[in-house]
Amino acid sequence: MNKNTKVLALKYRPQTFDDLIGQDVVAETISNSIKANKVPNAYLFTGIRGIGKTTTARIVAKSLNCSKGIDNLCKEDFCENCDAISNSNHIDVLEMDAASKTGVDDVRDLIEFSRYGPTTAKYKIFIIDEVHMLSKQAFNALLKTLEEPPEYLKFIFATTEIKKIPITVVSRCQRFDLSRIKSLELFNFIKKIKDKESGNASDDALKLIVKISEGSVRDALSLLDRALLTLDRDKELDLPAAQKIFGYFDKSQLIGLFQLIFEAKEKEVLNIYRKIYNQGVEPKIFINDFLELLYYFKNIDSLSADGTNFSLNDEEFNKIKEISKNINNEILILFWQFTIKTLEELNIVSNQHLSMEMFLIRLIHLKDIKNISDISYESTLIDNKNTNQVFLSQKKEDDDLFDIKDKIEAIDQMKNIAQEKDIKITNNIKDEKQVNSINSFNDLLEICTLKKEIKLKYELEKNVNLVSFEDQRIEISFNEDLDKDFIKDLSLKLYEWTNNRWIITLSKTKGQPSRKEEELNSKKELIESVKNSSIYKETLKKFPDVELIDVSTLKDENKND
């Protein structure tokens, strides 16, 4: 195949370590090991798509089998071995796609083939791409050969899912984590390719390609190839043209829309969004870009214009910095949360376009809230044993958010906490007698008994360790058996019983033993004290096989009576 007819990703595929970009440490380490004749039995390359895993594997194969040696590795005039490896038809270098050959029989054939030495090269090399796709049995069949292969045999694995590979396989390989290519480095690379191809593209268009590719060289070259083929040779690929080709819109439109939201100009906001939508931008892409912009508004003071992965130009950067001075950080965090919820909502609505317009209208009304703390925080499900804190802040009686009375909106700002469904608390409290005060943990248990909240009392006694109990504030730790609805149920009951909102804090501190643990410890101590008594020792002399299982005090017996 004529090299000039190849797509750019194949035409400019690196042939030596010097051609690789962004992987200098990996290239230097492998080169030094080959020069020192300390070649591992197996290499394992991992990283995202398009950063050079398979390419590096071929370069390693060339370095091991090049007729000229590693110091004079072929760059242009390839030797017979290097040429065959580059074209994937070398008899001693077998490339296998694990995605299509996943079974144990395929690996057994590979092992059987490995029994024979190389024909024309120094090493027989097996390159297995997407190795994580192999079955468990296939990995097991490979283990012994992988650990103690013949001297002439080398394995090279490539994967995008390192966690799916058994640790027993990873431990037998020399692992290299290939990193994403830095934005500036990738920009300079595709700019050189553009010049070699006599392409006509502006720097802003190339920066957009870098942003979309997310550090993948192959993605960047594929996008560049597509962009250069779309326009005529005499036309320049500028930013607007690139945005239209790739389905992206001008970031300044989004910044202007954001500013109009804070100016409460509903009509103008909807008009701008409709223009963006008519450009062919999908709602999910719009939402993700909106989230990215929220991040910049929140953290603009800690960023620099050249450190935003080419997402913003200087004008946009300065405009965001100016607007952010008049925006409360709490509002931005609240916007972030509502945007995340809208992203989830898009998966269940039939008309995503209408959902997006309602989302923007909600934000316009949301920004008018003067005190973010007026919004009640929902009690949320504890996902694991990490330290988490749940706040229930008091809501003013006269406030009505979005015309929905007494609705608790979930605002989850903590890690490892899964959101529950919204909790509706009505003002129609039952006609039961109100509890005047709950001043201690014992009071809480007694109230649970009085109100016949058996399940809640059970959780408090068995699965909760009290850390501290103060006025309308409880700090606890818990074990893994705690019911997922415990925090929600306790919060609602405390509000119902006392007509006050309580702050419930979940702490890493172990806290006091639970009531059940106290009972068990007391029982153990009682049994141990009886075992040390003279009566029990005398009993053991007469009955050596006797075993003390339980002890009941007279007080306990009276209770039973």
pLDDT range class, residue 428, cuts 50, 70, 90 = very low
How is residue 58 written in tokens?
């071929």
| Same domain? 230 vs 314 | no
| Same domain? 17 vs 129 | yes
How many Å apart are CA 311 and CA 211, to the nearest integer?
A: 7
How is residue 451 written in tokens?
């109100």
pLDDT in tens, 99-149: 888 888 888 888 888 888 888 888 999 999 999 999 889 899 889 888 888
pLDDT range class, residue 530, cuts 50, 70, 90 = confident
How is residue 170 written in tokens?
């990873």
Of 353 and 306, the structure prediction assigns the larger pLDDT to 353
273: nearest Cα among 286, 262, 285, 263: 286
pLDDT at 247: 73
| Same domain? 471 vs 339 | no
pLDDT above 70: residue 535: yes
| Same domain? 19 vs 153 | yes
Q: 3-state class of 467 per DSSP?
A: strand
Please, what is the average pLDDT of the chain? 78
Contact 425, 408 (CB under 8 A): yes
Residue matched to tokens 């015309």 = 403
What's the total number of domains in the chain? 5
Amino acid identity of residue 55, one-letter, is: T
pLDDT range class, residue 306, cuts 50, 70, 90 = low
Which pTM was predicted?
A: 0.57
pLDDT above 80: residue 392: no
| Same domain? 504 vs 522 | no
pLDDT in tens, 487-524: 888 888 888 888 888 888 877 777 788 777 777 777 77
Domain boundary among 353, 368, 383: 368
Contact 451, 430 (CB under 8 A): no
Of 360 and 554, the structure prediction assigns the larger pLDDT to 360
pLDDT in tens, 150-173: 889 999 999 999 999 999 999 999
**Domain limits at 217?**
183-246
pLDDT at 310: 60
Residue matched to tokens 């979309």 = 212
pLDDT at 125: 92
Instruction: Indicate which CATH number applies to the domain containing 206.
Output: 1.10.8.60
Amino acid identity of residue 139, one-letter, is: F
How is residue 69 written in tokens?
């040696």
Of how many residues is the chain composed? 561
Domain boundary among 199, 222, 246: 246
pLDDT above 70: residue 370: no
| Same domain? 188 vs 137 | no
pLDDT above 60: residue 420: no
| Same domain? 404 vs 501 | yes
Task: For residue 416, report the phi and psi dihedrals to the nearest 5 degrees.
Answer: 60, 30
Amino acid identity of residue 224, one-letter, is: L
Mean pLDDT of 403-423: 39
Domain boundary among 368, 403, 428: 368
Query: β-strands 389-390, 503-506: how paired?
Result: antiparallel
pLDDT at 354: 87
How many Å apart are CA 418 and CA 340, to the nearest integer?
A: 13
219: nearest Cα among 180, 177, 161, 178: 180
DSSP 8-class letter at 33: H
